């Protein structure tokens, strides 16, 4: 029986049809036990349709396919072949950016222009960047003639793991999926991807392009499903040699535990954040306000690197509060597919209630509210919200909210703001606004954070590593450093008998 398709509004008078099966061996197939997921429109909460949902048996089938593909064919494909396939995939994603933008608007509630103009092109560039590494898997060589050792040569090889896996969260799923595909495939692995249950549709569109690009069956398998079943089975799978996880710190711990309990597969974790934004009184004030506002309102604050703790020097604090509030408070809420919309919904009822819970508890503690604080009408949105004079031990300073909620506090000295910025379990991202170059470098060096942006926020580039310190995880998603996570190093020692 043919599987149904899902039809989406493309926002430009067209509709988009998407397959609904699990993508295994370049075919869309139902789950072995007929399991399905109801995919919701993020804005209306109405059903977009049902897709197949993987259970443990499907994970076994996908991993077996991935293993077969690796052993029988993929490991013999030359680097140039891998590069060409990735470049072709990047071209196809670029061709279909309108569709991806519409899919993410329907599925995630992400603004159309955000995918079309920024995250989509970034996904394309990520794949192109890593395609270039396919033939640059270089090791090093060393002389091996120390006294007592046989004479010879030693060198290292960077080799693929074989079958690898990726588990992706619901915020920016297209981009994060491409962040996993690009280095894994460039390095010569096969990959099983578990998309997020709340936003699986861009992955199904990607699956169509994997076929069109000409990837051999089984090289990229995509199996939507619940975290507790499909994700859990993948993390425990004995034949998966490496798993890359992006998601919450709580689930990240489970992935690490699953590795420890199964086959000690290599794990990389890109987890949550509580990122500081530091504004000094010598900063370009308007720039600092604009970036600080973008840092907590972009993607409705549902971004791992959201600048959710804002520290402002006391000499410009009052002025900042006024300007920041002006910038944030009246963003036009609406349909994420529409061009004029500046603010969309949160992904789900649960997420909305979670965010409102943080807001209500902060208000109950008497933390002063600068603006916002409510649900937007009866919608799935939450007003851009900011609290000020937030004490260091407040829940909204310590915990990741994953919503458009800023916690603003004032500071006096450099030492004080560094101490307060670093006083967090997280360490994913940080921003510093200053025109003092010495201070910029000094602070960048002292912040416990995987990335520091001076006079900006959230700037991503495929040629720079992205990842966390502390409980924001380990492993890197961009830059040459990412390849360390997708390859294993072998030392080869060659004995050359002396004449």
* Closer residue to ligand NAD, CB minimum distance, 228 or 412: 228
101 near ligand NAD (CB under 6 A): no
User: Out of 231, 301, 372, 403, which residue is the one contacting ligand NAD (CB under 6 A)?
Assistant: 231
Residue 271 interacts with ligand NAD (CB under 6 A): yes or no: yes
Number of Cβ within 10 Å of residue 168's Cβ equals 29
Q: Is the CB of residue 377 less than 8 Å from the CB of residue 398? A: no
How near is the Cβ of 91 to ligand NAD at its closest, in Å?
26
Query: Residue 181 interacts with ligand NAD (CB under 6 A)?
Result: no
Query: How many other CB atoms are found less than 10 A from the CB of residue 78?
Result: 11
Are 178 and 210 spatial neighbours (Cβ–Cβ below 8 Å)?
A: no
Q: How far is the CB of 460 from ligand NAD (least distance, A)?
A: 10
- Does residue 183 bind ligand NAD (CB under 6 A)? no
Rounded distance between C-alpha atoms, residue 383 and residue 331, angstroms: 9
190 has which bridge partners? 163
Tokens of 20: 């609904």
Choice between 66 and 313, CB closer to ligand NAD: 66
Comparison of 267 and 367: residue with beta carbon closer to ligand NAD: 267
Q: Which of the following is catalytic: 35, 125, 197, 270?
A: 270
Taking CB under 6 A as the rule, does residue 350 contact ligand NAD? no
Site string for ligand NAD, 374-403 (x = CB under 6 A): --------------------------x-x-
In the chain, what's the furthest Cα-to-Cα distance? 86
* Element housing 6 (H / E): strand 5-9
Listing DSSP states for 365-433 in one string gives TTPPEEE--SB-TTSS-B--EEE-S--TT-HHHHS---SSEEEEEEE-SHHHHHHHHH-SS--SEEEEE
Closest distance to ligand NAD from the beta carbon of 42 (Å): 13
Contact status, residue 195 vs residue 171, Cβ threshold 8 Å? no
Residue 57 has φ and ψ, to the nearest 5°, of -65, -35
The residue (of 134 and 220) whose beta carbon lies closer to ligand NAD is 220
Of 23, 129, 170, 333, which lies in the binding site for ligand NAD, with binding defined by CB under 6 A? 170
Q: Is 235 in the site for ligand NAD (CB under 6 A)?
A: yes
Note whether 304 binds ligand NAD by CB under 6 A: yes
Please indicate whether residue 414 is annotated as part of the active site. no
Q: Which residues are catalytic?
A: 270
List of residues contacting ligand NAD (CB under 6 A): 167-171, 176, 194, 196-197, 227-228, 231-232, 235, 246-248, 251, 254-255, 270-273, 304, 400, 402, 428, 468, 472-473
């Amino acid at each position: 029986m043919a599987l149904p398709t899902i039809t989406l509004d493309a926002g430009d008078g067209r509709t988009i049809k998407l397959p609904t099966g699990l993508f295994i061996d370049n075919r869309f197939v139902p789950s072995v036990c007929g399991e399905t997921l109801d995919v919701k429109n993020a804005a209306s909460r109405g059903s977009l349709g049902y897709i197949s949902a993987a259970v443990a048996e499907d994970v076994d089938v996908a991993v077996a396919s991935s293993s077969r593909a690796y052993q029988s064919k993929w490991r013999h494909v030359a680097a140039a072949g891998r590069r060409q396939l990735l470049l072709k995939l990047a071209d196809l994603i670029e061709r279909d950016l309108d569709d991806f933008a519409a899919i993410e608007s329907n599925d995630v509630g992400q603004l159309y222009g955000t995918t079309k103009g920024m995250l989509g092109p970034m996904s394309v560039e990520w794949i192109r960047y890593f395609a270039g590494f396919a033939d640059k898997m270089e090791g090093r060589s060393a002389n091996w003639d120390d006294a007592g050792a046989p004479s010879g040569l030693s060198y290292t090889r960077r080799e693929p793991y074989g079958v690898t896996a990726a588990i992706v969260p619901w915020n920016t799923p297209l981009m994060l999926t491409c962040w996993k595909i690009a280095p894994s495939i460039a390095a010569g692995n096969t990959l099983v991807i578990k998309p997020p249950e709340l936003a699986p549709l861009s992955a199904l569109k990607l699956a169509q392009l994997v076929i069109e690009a000409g990837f051999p069956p089984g090289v990229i398998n995509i199996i939507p499903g619940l975290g507790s079943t499909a994700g859990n089975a993948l993390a425990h799978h004995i034949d998966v040699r490496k798993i890359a996880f992006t998601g919450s710190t709580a689930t990240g711990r489970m992935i690490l535990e699953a590795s420890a309990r199964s086959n000690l597969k290599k794990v990389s974790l890109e987890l949550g954040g509580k990122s500081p934004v530091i504004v000094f009184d010598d900063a370009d004030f308007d720039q600092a306000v604009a970036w600080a506002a973008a840092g907590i309102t972009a993607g409705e604050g549902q971004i791992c690197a959201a600048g959710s703790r804002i520290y402002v020097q006391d000499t410009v604090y009052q002025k900042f509060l006024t300007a920041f509030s002006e910038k944030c408070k009246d963003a036009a809420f609406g349909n994420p597919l529409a061009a004029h919309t500046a603010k969309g919904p949160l992904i789900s009822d649960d997420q909305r209630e979670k965010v409102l819970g943080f807001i209500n508890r902060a208000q109950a503690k008497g933390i002063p509210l600068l603006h916002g604080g409510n649900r937007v009408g009866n919608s799935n949105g939450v007003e851009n919200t900011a609290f000020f004079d937030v004490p260091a031990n407040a829940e909204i300073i310590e915990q990741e909210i994953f919503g458009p909620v800023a916690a603003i506090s004032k500071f006096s000295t450099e030492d004080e703001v560094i101490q307060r910025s670093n006083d967090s379990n997280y360490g994913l991202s940080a921003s510093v606004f200053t025109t003092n170059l010495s201070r910029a470098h000094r602070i960048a060096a002292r912040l416990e954070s995987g990335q520091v942006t001076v006079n900006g926020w959230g700037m991503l580039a495929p040629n720079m590593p992205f990842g966390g310190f502390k409980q924001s995880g380990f492993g890197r998603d961009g830059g040459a450093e990412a390849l360390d996570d997708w390859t294993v190093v072998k030392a080869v020692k060659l004995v050359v008998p002396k004449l």
